[in-house]
Amino acid sequence: MRFQILTCDSPAPMNTVYLSLGSNVGDREANLVRAIDELASRGARILRQSSFYETEPLEIRDQAWFLNCAVEAEAELDPQQLLETLLEIEIEMGRYQSIKYGPRNIDIDILLFGASVVDTPDLVIPHPRMAERRFVLVPMNEIAPDARHPVLKKTIGELLKATADKSAVRLWSGRSK
């Protein structure tokens, strides 16, 4: 049996992804801006970006407050390739995390990858705790209130209204002038 190699000149399909970014070490605002720039420089087309929000830490409360945002982007990557790209950005930005849920200069999580559901040892999409976290839902609601969670079958707006999380999430006004 002979195999024929077919070539295709059409571009790879673009996947719509939603990401959560956070920082609570160093210049938090600059860290988020740099991470978003890094995404764009690696082929992600940024469609929408939320405002920045200052959020209180949840699991380990004795640490600095976070600055968080959400991004909607298109990328020609599969979920594993996207995860690898995000990890590269975090490493290049000098991310360190000595304690789980502890301080970090940058954290980038995949929230949604189109309507895909992924469950591997390395990656779970949709993000397994996004429905429980106001620091994720508030920025997501700003840019995509009608985006639907493919497992819970609810929109981001519905998840925000239903979450039991009452932690503080404040609109960030930016650097002091």
Residue-level pLDDT at 99? 73
Task: Find the catalytic residue in 28, 104, 133, 134.
Answer: 104
In a domain, 131, yes or no: yes
Residue-range definition of the domain harbouring residue 71: 15-171
In a domain, 2, yes or no: no
User: Could you confirm whether 42 is annotated as catalytic?
Assistant: no
The CATH number assigned to the domain holding 59 equals 3.30.70.560
Task: Give the pLDDT confidence of 37-58 residue by residue, as tens digits.
Answer: 999 999 899 999 999 999 999 8
- Residues 37-42: contacts with CB under 8 Å, at least 24 apart: 38/89, 38/92, 38/93, 39/71, 39/73, 39/85, 39/89, 42/85, 42/89
Task: Find the catalytic residue in 34, 42, 78, 109.
Answer: 109
In a domain, 1, yes or no: no
In a domain, 109, yes or no: yes
**What is the pTM for the complete model shown?**
0.89
User: Could you confirm whether 107 is annotated as catalytic?
Assistant: yes
In a domain, 70, yes or no: yes
User: Could you confirm whether 109 is annotated as catalytic?
Assistant: yes
Task: Find the catalytic residue in 28, 107, 133, 134.
Answer: 107
Task: Give the pLDDT confidence of 89-113 residue by residue, as tens digits.
Answer: 999 998 766 677 778 899 999 999 9
151: left (phi over 0), alpha (psi -120 to 50) or beta: alpha
- Cα–Cα distance, 97 to 143 (Å, whole number): 28
In a domain, 88, yes or no: yes
In a domain, 177, yes or no: no
In a domain, 7, yes or no: no
User: How many structural domains comprise the chain?
Assistant: 1
User: Going by C-beta distance under 8 Å and a sequence separation of 6 or more, which residues neighbour residue 89?
Assistant: 35, 38, 39, 42, 106, 108
